[in-house]
Amino acid sequence: MTTALTAVLLTALTACGSGGGNAADDGKITMGFAQVGAESGWRTANTKSVQESAKSAGIELKFSDAQQKQENQIKAIRSYIQQKVDVIAFSPVVETGWDTVLLEAKRAKIPVILTDRAIDSDDTSLYETFLGSDFIDEGKKAAQWLVENSSGPTNVVELQGTTGAAPAIDRKEGFEDVIRSKPDIRIVASQTGDFTRSGGKQVMEAFLKSQPDIDVVYAHNDDMGLGAIEAIKAAGKKPGVDIKIITVDAVKDGMTALAGGEINFIVECNPLLGPQLMDLAKKVVDGEEVPERVVTEETTFTQDQAKTALPDRKY
Ligand code: AHR
């Protein structure tokens, strides 16, 4: 073997041996985190949790905001691969279309952690673990409350999250699963408000014009519910009374509206995933076994429960 060829092979082997990252070189873990955006109060709390937890765990964080665009997240992941980070974590904007870029990460031997949202792929070897809520269960809890707190024909309008996003797909599915056995409860209109307050307001304004008889709003997050409240008030109706409102998240603004009687029920979705994410990252980089799925524990809030919980609410 020529000296030059030996040198090339040695360089390649060294690159493989270091796991593609630099933890082995300097003992410090670098994480590339590709965030969805800043679309909601939930997302802001989630970003803060990730940034603060990285700092206290001594993990160097490279952070990017995809502004709710999948192509931006893919670009960010590719740049983390090029920078040879030790671990990549991301919260996928939508469920599908990740196999190619995640295969690139796998080939570069950079482990990937899904956080908050899952992907739809047959190849589970593309990521180490998925940390986040059970969105189907959240949809079920929302519907269960409605089943227990409604009587007679009930017309529901649904404000869906971002089209193609796991929480939008699953919260719809869970809700529909439960109301299927209650023919009196009908979803009369359903449209995406993109998880934003302005989106929720706009869609609700349109619903109020096209639907003569709305009893309930089911919003896939607090922000869209808060937007719907503005539209309902502008239409001369009383949110929480003339039209009941159910949302998901339980961020401070949502809880304040719940305690004030303008929302009727909130299903919690916990954004404080940072500490668990950093623990998982350390384990994955150290080559330790981690569970395939880590489900976040969550509760629900009635108006009275919101009044009690609000003073200590961290986000
Ligand atoms: O993926 C979690 C969801 O995304 C939250 O419920 C919503 O507020 C956010 O935008």
pLDDT at 5: 35
Angle between helices 41-57 and 222-234 (to 10 degrees): 150
pLDDT at 217: 99
Cβ contacts of residue 72 below 8 Å, gap of 6+?
64, 66
- The token duo for 227 is 């937007």
Cβ contacts of residue 274 below 8 Å, gap of 6+?
46, 49, 50, 51, 52, 53, 54
Name the residue of 36, 39, 43, 91 to mutate for ligand 1: max ligand atoms within 8 A of Cβ.
43
pLDDT at 26: 72
Q: Strand locations in 91-133, DSSP E?
A: 112-115, 129-132
Q: Strand 265-268 vs strand 300-301: parallel, antiparallel, or unpaired?
A: antiparallel
**What pLDDT digit, counting tens, does each position of 54-100 carry?**
999 999 999 999 999 999 999 999 999 999 999 999 999 999 999 99
For the chain, the C-alpha Rg in angstroms (whole number) is 22
pLDDT at 25: 62
Ligand 1 lined by 43 (C-beta under 6 Å): yes
Residues in the chain predicted with pLDDT less than 50, given as ranges, are 1-21
Q: What is the dihedral of CA 45, 50, 51, 54, to 10 degrees?
A: 150
- The token duo for 58 is 């001594």
pLDDT at 11: 30
Query: Per this entry, what is the length of the chain?
Result: 315
Ligand 1 lined by 194 (C-beta under 6 Å): no
The rounded Å distance from CA 285 to ligand 1 centre is 27
**What pLDDT digit, counting tens, does each position of 245-259 carry?**
999 999 999 999 999
Ligand 1 lined by 130 (C-beta under 6 Å): no
